[in-house]
């Protein structure tokens, strides 16, 4: 469920320039160093080779440095256009190549791409430092910032100027020359460590395998899971069946395998990812990353990195984030006790003669769910065919709400044959965006699901560029006998990531750094999470949930069971999520620079929280990529919950006035989806909702109150 965006490259964070940069015509044959000739300037993936990246990045850095030098040398008095806007529009070539490289380094992460990343990541980090520690450039930014009223800046121009000013300060612009050099070195080291962390996780996820040769041990698993396991074993040159701890496979085993020993083996394989004491152990990376972040925070005037991370966003104080989490935590763990009691009762009544352990949770939750609601995921999977979920689900709802249509571009360039490309248009037939989907697992694809972009929207002074947005996931793949049939959780993942995509596609902000998902972390998950609600709106559900063989619409009886059971097991799901968010905060509240035992640290956090022993953090530290493979969500994983408070409170307006009420949809589009970071996010939310949010709606929605 993670939103993925590019590293901060050059002037803009994520949204890099497409205007104002000189075209580099050197090194002909390198697609990045000339204009794309493709429709909507989709990157020409078929022409891009591994050897093109490094020269293009080097050329892009040189080009942007020349642009920055020109801003600094400009004899005119600093103003918005010649300083702030010029900075926001710098780095065209670097932007082009970085978008593609960062996208493919996770979705098609070959060994060669991972090796190249080891060279590229420090270069991008260093370039970021060169810009944000440029004294002369900061002096001009500060001059515009301090004289905004005298210069007649409008609200949007002030917003962008303020954003850059704060970004400079948070990146060390006020430090002494010696401390700036020290910060640059710390940034370089951190980038290398984060890359090492990510590579270790990817290696472990693809290399750790459970082999099964006794067919009896497969009891309870779906034929699809069994067939996939047989194919993987054959691919690896083994007899029988092979299971990796990747998302869909792991959950299938934990939720369905009757063989308790197999469930335990899978659980322990996954929860010990990158923590086994060998060369792929991330303990050293974690300690080094935390220590570097604490050093940086202190240099920048904060007691801890947690204080630094939370300061510029909606929460502002670590205590505010923790208070929100604890409001949810207490009722969540109380609900876990009820859920475990129900599972233990079921196990006892069926002669299992066990005590419920963490590897039993998914399995017995399904058993209790089936008994309590006469319902199981297997009943609905045949109705959740991926193509129908996409075309008759997310596209259908988006058309009803926002009037946009999606037409497949069969001849469009693709970075992988499994990618599908769509031309998105509005009611009048105007081009809105390009949308790409990449839904199936690959050995060289990072785990999880995310949204990102291949360019940056821009809409200022008559110039307009529309975005190229993509969703990536690792959903249940098709088999030789059936198409891709999804679980309800996977359906929600599709709707979730598409919510991010809508945020990116519908943006109308004028400047790169204010467009789309360039909003506070506290708000960025709201559009994705609120979009999940349409998955269970009866009109939408009946439109996409059709049996893949017969075309039969999902029966009302199943719909009722699906909705009735939707709040089931929310204690577990909420506890593992809130637990991970609190673990993240605890790591970044550390204010000393010494190594800690990672497992012991986690156990101490669990003890203080009185975490139920049957529940593990959603991500244990050694594979907690959200917070350790970059710092986008560092001390920010809590924002999933913060955003869910906004989401559930905001959804209540749709629920009260109608899920397809045009007035509500228009307000939501105007103040949230189109606005980007045009104004303070709480003000934007209040414009849409008419009130400030509170946690009650979330607790009600999850059945915890």
Question: Among all residues, which ones are annotated catalytic?
Answer: 497
Taking the C-alpha atoms of residue 87 and residue 72, their distance in angstroms, rounded to an integer, is 10
CA distance 269 to 250: 10
Instruction: Tell me, letter by letter, the H, E, C secondary structure of 348-413.
Output: HHCCCCCCCCHHHHHHHHHHHHHHHHCCCHHHHHHHCEHHHHHHHHHHHHHHHHHCCEEEECCCCC
How many other C-beta atoms can be found within 10 angstroms of the C-beta atom of residue 427?
10
Residues sharing a CB contact under 8 Å with residue 628, sequence separation 6 or more, in sequence order: 194, 197, 282, 285, 286, 289, 621, 634
Q: Check if the beta carbon of residue 469 is closer than 8 Å to that of residue 5.
A: no
Query: 97, exposed or middle or buried, with CB in 10 Å at 0-12, 13-18, 19+?
Result: buried
Pairing mode of beta strands 420-425, 405-408: antiparallel
Secondary structure (3-state) at 10? coil
Angle separating helix axes 283-299 and 177-207, nearest 10 degrees: 160
- Give the separation between CA 317 and CA 522, rounded to whole angstroms: 12
**CA-CA distance, 284 to 304, in Å (whole number)?**
20
- Are residues 622 and 283 in contact, defined by beta-carbon separation less than 8 angstroms? yes
Smallest CA-to-CA distance from 220 within 64, 364, 102 is with 364
Largest CA distance in the chain: 84
- Quote the tokens at residue 677: 């970071």
List, edge to edge, every strand of the sheet that includes 450-453.
Answer: 405-408, 420-425, 431-438, 468-472, 450-453
Residue that has been written with the tokens 């996820």 in this structure: 205
Closest CA to 387 of 502, 476, 496, 499: 476
Neighbours of 276 (CB within 10 A): 13
Q: How far separated are the first and last CA of the chain, in Å rounded? A: 25
DSSP class of residue 535 equals G
Residues 264 and 217: their CA atoms lie apart, in Å, by: 13
Give the span between the Cα atoms of 129 and 122, in whole angstroms: 10
Determine contact, residues 504/516, Cβ cutoff 8 Å.
Answer: yes
DSSP for 168-224, written as a single string:
HHHTTTTS-HHHHHHHHHHHHHHHHHHHHHHHHHHHHHHH--EEE--GGGGTT--HH
Alpha-carbon span 402 to 391, nearest angstrom: 15
């Amino acid at each position: 469920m993670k939103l993925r965006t590019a590293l901060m490259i050059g002037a803009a964070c994520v949204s890099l320039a497409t205007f104002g940069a000189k075209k580099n015509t050197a090194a002909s044959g390198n697609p990045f160093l000339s204009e794309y000739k493709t429709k909507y300037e989709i990157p020409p993936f078929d022409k891009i080779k591994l050897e093109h990246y490094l020269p293009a990045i080097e050329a892009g850095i040189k080009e942007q440095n020349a642009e920055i030098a020109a801003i600094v040398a400009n004899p005119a008095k600093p103003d918005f256009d010649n300083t702030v806007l010029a900075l926001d529009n710098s780095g065209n070539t670097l932007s082009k190549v970085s978008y593609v490289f960062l996208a493919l380094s996770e979705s098609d992460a070959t060994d060669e791409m991972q090796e190249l990343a080891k060279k590229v990541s420090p270069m991008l980090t260093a370039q970021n430092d060169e810009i944000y520690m440029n004294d002369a450039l900061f002096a001009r930014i500060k001059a515009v910032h301090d004289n905004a009223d005298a210069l007649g800046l409008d609200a949007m121009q002030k917003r962008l100027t303020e954003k850059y000013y704060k970004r400079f300060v948070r990146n060390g612009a006020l430090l002494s020359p010696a401390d700036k050099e020290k910060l640059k070195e710390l940034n370089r080291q951190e980038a290398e460590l984060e890359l090492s962390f990510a590579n270790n996780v990817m290696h472990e996820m693809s290399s750790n395998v459970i082999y099964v040769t006794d067919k009896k041990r497969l009891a309870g698993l779906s034929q699809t899971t069994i067939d996939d396991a047989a194919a993987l074993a054959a691919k690896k040159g083994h007899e029988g069946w092979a299971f990796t701890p990747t998302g869909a496979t792991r959950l299938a085993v934990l939720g369905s395998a009757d063989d308790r020993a197999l469930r335990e083996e899978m659980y322990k394989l996954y929860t010990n990812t990158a923590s086994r004491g060998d060369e792929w152990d991330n303990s050293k990376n974690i300690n080094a990353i935390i220590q570097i972040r604490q050093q940086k925070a202190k240099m920048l005037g904060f007691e801890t990195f947690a204080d630094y991370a939370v300061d510029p966003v909606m929460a502002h104080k670590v205590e505010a984030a923790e208070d929100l989490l604890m409001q949810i935590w207490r009722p969540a763990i109380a609900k876990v006790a009820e859920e475990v009691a129900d599972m233990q009762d079921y196990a006892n009544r069926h002669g299992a003669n066990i005590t419920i352990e963490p590897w039993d949770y998914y399995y017995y939750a399904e058993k209790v769910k089936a008994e309590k609601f006469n319902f199981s995921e297997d009943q609905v999977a045949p109705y959740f065919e991926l193509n129908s979920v996409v075309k008759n689900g997310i596209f259908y709802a988006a058309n009803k709400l926002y009037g946009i249509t999606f037409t497949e571009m069969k001849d469009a360039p693709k970075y992988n044959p499994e990618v599908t490309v769509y031309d998105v248009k509005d009611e009048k037939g105007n081009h809105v965006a390009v949308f790409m989907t990449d839904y199936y697992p690959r050995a060289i694809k990072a785990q999880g699901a995310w949204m990102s972009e291949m360019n940056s929207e821009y809409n200022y002074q008559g110039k307009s560029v529309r975005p190229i947005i993509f969703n990536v996931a690792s959903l249940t793949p098709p088999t030789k006998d059936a198409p891709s049939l999804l679980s309800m959780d996977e359906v929600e993942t599709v709707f979730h990531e598409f919510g991010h995509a809508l945020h990116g596609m519908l943006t109308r902000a004028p400047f790169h750094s204010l467009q789309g998902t360039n909003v506070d972390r506290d708000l960025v998950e709201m559009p994705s999470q609120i979009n999940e609600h349409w998955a269970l709106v009866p009109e939408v559900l009946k439109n996409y949930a059709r049996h893949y063989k017969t075309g039969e619409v999902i029966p009302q009886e199943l719909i009722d069971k699906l909705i009735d059971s939707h709040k089931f097991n929310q204690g577990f799901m909420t506890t593992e999520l809130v637990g991970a968010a609190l673990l993240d905060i605890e790591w970044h509240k550390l204010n000393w620079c010494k190594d800690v035992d990672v497992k012991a640290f986690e156990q101490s956090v669990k003890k203080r929280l009185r975490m139920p022993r049957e529940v593990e953090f959603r991500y244990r530290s050694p594979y907690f990529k959200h917070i350790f493979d970059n710092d986008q969500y560092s001390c920010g994983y809590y924002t999933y919950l913060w955003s869910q408070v906004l989401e559930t409170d905001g959804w209540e307006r749709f629920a009260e006035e109608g899920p397809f009420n045009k007035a509500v949809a228009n307000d939501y589009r105007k103040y949230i989806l189109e606005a980007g970071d045009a104004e303070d996010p709480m003000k934007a939310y209040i414009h849409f909702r008419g009130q400030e949010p509170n946690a009650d709606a979330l607790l009600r929605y999850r059945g915890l109150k």
